[in-house]
Amino acid sequence: MARNPRYDILFEPVRIGPVTARNRFYAVPHAAGMTNSMPHMRAKFRETKAEGGWGVVCSGYVSIDPSSDDAPLPFATLWDEDDIRSHALMTDAVHRHGALAGIELWHGGGSVMNRTSRIAPMSPSGTSWMATHVNFMGNQRPRAMDTHDIRALLTWQAEAARKARRAGFDIVYVYAGMGYLPYEFLLSDWNQRTDAYGGSVRNRVRIVRELLEVTRAAVGDRCAVALRISLEELRSRPSDAAPSEAHEVVELLADVPDLWDVKLDSSPTDCAPSRFAPEGSHEPIIEFVRKLTRKPVVGVGRFTSPDTMVGQIKRGVLDLIGAARPSIADPFLPRKIDEGREQDIRECIGCNICISSWHDAVPVRCTQNPTIGEEWRRDWHPERVAPSGSTSSVLVVGAGPAGLECALTLGRRGYEVTLAEAADEIGGRLRFETRLPGLSAWGRVLDWRRGQLQRLPNVNIYRGNRLSADDILELGNTHVVIATGSRWARLLYSALEIPVGKLEGPEVFTPDDIADGARIEGPVVVYDFDNYYMGSVLAEHLARAGHRIAYVTPAGHASAWAIMSNEQPQIHRALFSAGIALHTLSRVTAFERGEVTLAGQFTDTATRIACRSLVIVGARFANDSLHAGLAVRPQDLAAARIQSVTRIGDALAPGAIVHAVYSGHRYARELDADPATLTYRRDAPLGRRPAAAPVLAARKDQERLT
């Protein structure tokens, strides 16, 4: 199909200093869990975006010196010759598809603990990040930088920029955002210096200017120099010289970088989940930048709609459409727009599972795109699958996330597929969950797969068909896939942190009961030890229905795991706004006569609160009775010529939607495959050998004698 002419503007080339991006699609720097220890995985991951049509493809954050060590979080390095060769794999791969390669040079300053290098961290005034997130907590505090340290920082940046040029990068960044070292100089909370680098905005911005200048001197006219900067806090602060300190900073640096990459300050706002922020949510903060500079501006906002993208360009908000999460959900987003296939875009749902991957220190995962991170090690391509390995027919029982993904991928391979769903509509858990507060965007998981399945004549969907083991034996399929999901249990929680003690009763409910329309009477206690989104979102849902809600959890925060997906701060604000009482570090131990008894998780101190309905959001178990019923009939299976019966998704092991989709996809990829191809490749650093870390200036990780 031909490209819609109203999207032509998105495919105009953009000059960025000495280089030119072929279009306005810009895959911004973002962590992906694939560092120098996984160079082939990283190169293939970024290459896939270039193949998919992104005009610029950037690295994640890259340390310029061992004094910037983010371990155990997965960060890349550019310290030595081996690192140069490692990054060159990526630039070569990106260049093969006509895209520019960008690198985000980074120093974490007072936001890192240097757990591995054990070099004393440093910040402008010795101030440290006192994080409440356990992944970032530590008891190492930074020292205040002196002029020697500032000269060393400039030297490290210049050396890293030269290495970046040798590695083949086209755009080299100075990173002044997200609480890292150059940003720390910009913000007065971090910077209490009284020398030429502190005090006024003009002084505080000096280090950023100097970093840009040494970067330009290092790369010459070969590479563009980009500034990535967070503006949320600066925008909120008044200035005597401009509408805000953010305006003043941009005015002072307006034409120094070749590119402005603008963002917000903290991960929960910069990468806000769709539950709490719409597409384009950055605009109120960053819209002024384009008015103050002649240089191109790139920004993000979880853009998935080409019309929204065009609007950003035509209204003068951005010159380049930046994306991290949407480029993960669909690396081929630009190409699909270019080919007039907007309906094929696999839209990001804003669940932030990708961000949780970085917090987990593993390669990136995605609910929508199960191939992400598997491009090299499993040879999975997001748009191509191998043809079927046989003429087998496959019955998939259950049309939830796992069953839908499995049927779609099998259908794309060419198998004859029957998808049977017991309910009158497909979607499984998505049918209910997408009606809960803030989760409507998650419906894209269902909508995209439903649309793709409708085009496959070799996939037949039967709704309202609850199959028994006898039914399956009579249908004549070669392979049977059980994707019947899971169920929530009415279990309590012990001091050993495991679910125990089944609690039955007419006023005890689970999320399954709420989904089935159970009649709830208030006051309601939502008891959550699942620790992801379901407990808090059900509390909101029931509060909107007019009930008085108490939220109880043995964890220290509501939806404790959601700190991994950037949702926890917003969840707490949402519960507070809804008037929901919060009881943390508490276990439900009894429920009778209109009240619930709580015990302190660590103290066993008893508390009683009013309760007519108790909703337990805790353990889940597989709905595997159908699989069990078939497994005990091997002779009947053989007589029916059924070669395999396999569980996938929650029917195998309950998890998040991302796990279900991945499970279904993997089964479909591996059916009839050569067993020798099924063990994924293990990546390794390039040429790594024992060596001393480079010392580019006298290091001051302990006090010098003077």
Catalytic residue list: 180
**If DSSP codes are grouped into helix, strand and coil, which group holds residue 412?**
helix
Distance between CA 564 and CA 191 in Å, rounded?
29
**In the chain, count of helices (H) and strands (E)?**
25, 30
What the block records as the tokens of 397 is 């029982």
Please list, in sequence order, all residues whose beta carbon lies within 8 angstroms of the beta carbon of residue 368, skipping any fewer than 6 positions away: 329, 330, 346, 347, 348, 349, 444, 445, 448, 661
**If DSSP codes are grouped into helix, strand and coil, which group holds residue 292?**
helix
Nearest to 103 by CA among 120, 86, 116: 86
Buried b / exposed e along 31-64 (16+ C-beta atoms within 10 A):
bbbbbbbbbbbbbbbbbbbbbbbbbbbbbbbbbb
Per the CB < 8 A criterion, the answer to whether 140 and 86 are in contact is no
Nearest to 584 by CA among 602, 569, 566, 567: 602
Q: Is the dihedral of CA 29, 35, 39, 40 positive or negative?
A: negative
For the chain, the first-to-last Cα distance in angstroms comes to 72
Distance between CA 498 and CA 412 in Å, rounded?
41
What the block records as the tokens of 249 is 């900073």
Distance between CA 582 and CA 507 in Å, rounded?
21
Distance between CA 123 and CA 136 in Å, rounded?
16
- Give me the phi and psi of 215, to 5 degrees please: -65, -45
- What's CA 674's distance to the chain center, in Å? 32
622 beta partners: 486
**If DSSP codes are grouped into helix, strand and coil, which group holds residue 691?**
coil
- Give me the phi and psi of 172, to 5 degrees please: -120, 130
Q: Three-state SS across 102-148?
A: EEEEECCHHHCCCCCCCCCCEECCCCCCCCCCHHHCCCCCCEECCHH
CB atoms within 10 A of CB 320: 26
Nearest to 118 by CA among 168, 71, 153: 71
Burial status of residue 384 (CB atoms within 10 A of its CB: 0-12, 13-18, 19 or more): exposed
Nearest to 69 by CA among 60, 61, 58: 61
What the block records as the tokens of 370 is 């199960």
Distance between CA 323 and CA 396 in Å, rounded?
35
